[in-house]
Amino acid sequence: MSRSGSGEFNVISDRFLPIERTVFSEEHEMFRTNVRRFMQDFVIPNLEKWNKQCHPDRDVWLEAGKRGFLCVTTPEIYGGSGADRKYSAILIEEQQRANAAGPGFVMHSEIVAGYIERFGDDHQKEKWLPKMARGEVIGSLAMTEPRGGSDLRAISTRAVVDGDDYLINGSKTFITNGYITDLIIVAAKTDQKDGSSGLSLFLVEADRNGVSKSMPLDKVGQKAQDAAELFFDSVRVPKGNLLGNAGEGLRYLMQELAWERLMIAIRAVAGCEIALETTVDYTKSREAFGQKLLDFQNTKFKLAECKTKTQIARVYIDQCIELGAAGQLNAEAAAMAKWWCTELQNRVLDECVQLHGGYGYMLEYPVARAWTDARAQMIYGGTNEIMKEIIARSF
């Protein structure tokens, strides 16, 4: 693997693993070709800039919207493509192959737009989804709070009825797309009860009085993807901005978490594949003690172990993609995928960094950036400890 300041992986092959994939049709693969070209032309050349400024530029969103890469599963009547979720999986895989932590297209298209499509009323869908599909409005989801972490029942942000409006007070942190967001789905309590009964979701425009943002958070990795703190100081929103029914926010969130967790796992396996492939290339070209690195038994065995584990993960994830596209993916299967594949990604990347030697620790080498970017995958979307708890509930 050659060096690259922009952080992209240079070698991309679809036949590195021994079992051919059958989950995608010819039309899906044609879409993949177009997405890959978009990543090469509009994302990879800008990664270094985005990594330095800790957020992507807005023009890439408009370009993605122009090419039909935003909100692909959103119905055509609302400006999307009306495609199945396999197209979304391709977008995730190709962004990972480009070694691009940002832009946050997945959060915008699959999560925020998905909530609006499933739980919004006709007015909300007509107002927001076409603009999101065009990239004119960037969406974010504000759940996590400074003192709440993964515990949604501990949310302290409040939304109190005041005439025809709600007044929202509270703060959120680690919000993907938070710095550049235009539209925020805010999780807030609409009554004073403990537990889940009072949680509701609101559509909050980022330019409303009382909404403020921090600068992009200084993360260890995923620098090209902005994350920020959001603050809500007596933010007045009309009752028409309530998403779905009051008090049902947790139920809505739980319905979409399986797909969200699978998307993290899809990214993880793609990350294993491309890191493995590029590391094989590196070990073929790098010499030590008078021979190629790949000629050492230790190198061969390490790569063989990583390749085998990655292939096994790929078979499981492709089956989950089929289930997700059919709307049949359950919480336990998604939790298994998220836990196993994100931990595998971190183990594989650690081995790949080791095989690069000192160069593996240099950010000018893509494997180093992939390594730092991968660590967060075991945290967001629900920590992997919570994934194990979900799995254990089936006993």
The string of pLDDT tens digits covering residues 256-289 is 899 999 999 999 999 999 999 999 999 999 988 9
pLDDT band at 16 (very low <50, low <70, confident <90, very high): low
Q: To the nearest 5 percent, what fractions of the chain are helix, strand and coil?
A: 55, 15, 35
What whole-number percentage of the chain has pLDDT above 90?
87
The burial of 231, by beta-carbon neighbours within 10 Å (0-12 exposed, 13-18 middle, 19 or more buried), is given as middle
Three-state DSSP state, 258:
helix
CA distance linking residue 205 with residue 128, whole number of Å = 11
Is 2 a residue whose pLDDT tops 50?
A: no
- CATH, domain range 251-392: 1.20.140.10
Q: What does the domain layout of the chain look like in residue ranges?
A: 26-138, 140-246, 251-392
Q: Which two tokens stand for residue 269?
A: 């396996």
Q: For the segment 31-40, what is each residue's pLDDT rounded down to a tens digit? A: 999 999 999 9
Is 46 a residue whose pLDDT tops 60?
A: yes
pLDDT band at 6 (very low <50, low <70, confident <90, very high): very low
Is 183 a residue whose pLDDT tops 90?
A: yes
Domains 140-246 and 251-392 alike in fold:
no
> Residues 6 or more apart from 369 whose CB is under 8 A from it?
7, 51, 99, 221, 363
Whether the CB-CB separation of 113 and 139 falls below 8 Å is answered with: yes
Please tell me the predicted confidence (pLDDT) of residue 18. Answer: 75
Mean of pLDDT values over 235-253: 95
Single pTM value for the model: 0.93
CA distance linking residue 65 with residue 136, whole number of Å = 8
Average pLDDT, the chain: 92
Please tell me the predicted confidence (pLDDT) of residue 287. Answer: 84
pLDDT band at 19 (very low <50, low <70, confident <90, very high): confident
Q: For the segment 77-116, what is each residue's pLDDT rounded down to a tens digit? A: 999 999 999 999 999 999 999 999 999 999 999 999 999 9
The burial of 337, by beta-carbon neighbours within 10 Å (0-12 exposed, 13-18 middle, 19 or more buried), is given as buried
Three-state DSSP state, 99:
coil
Please tell me the predicted confidence (pLDDT) of residue 153. Answer: 76
Cα atoms in the Cβ-side hemisphere of radius 13 Å centred on 66? 8
Listed residue (320, 340, 315) closest to 330, CA to CA: 320
Please tell me the predicted confidence (pLDDT) of residue 197. Answer: 65
Q: Which two tokens stand for residue 194?
A: 């403990």
Please tell me the predicted confidence (pLDDT) of residue 149. Answer: 67
Is 5 a residue whose pLDDT tops 60?
A: no
Whether the CB-CB separation of 56 and 135 falls below 8 Å is answered with: no
Mean of pLDDT values over 244-255: 92
Q: Is the dihedral of CA 285, 222, 350, 39 positive or negative?
A: negative
**Which class is 26-138 in CATH?**
mainly alpha
Is 49 a residue whose pLDDT tops 90?
A: yes
From the candidates 260, 273, 277, 351, give the one annotated as an active-site residue: 260
Q: Is 260 a catalytic residue?
A: yes
Which H, E and C letters describe 171-199, residue by residue? EEEEEECCCCCCEEEEEEECCCCCCCCCE
Is 8 a residue whose pLDDT tops 70?
A: no
**Which class is 140-246 in CATH?**
mainly beta
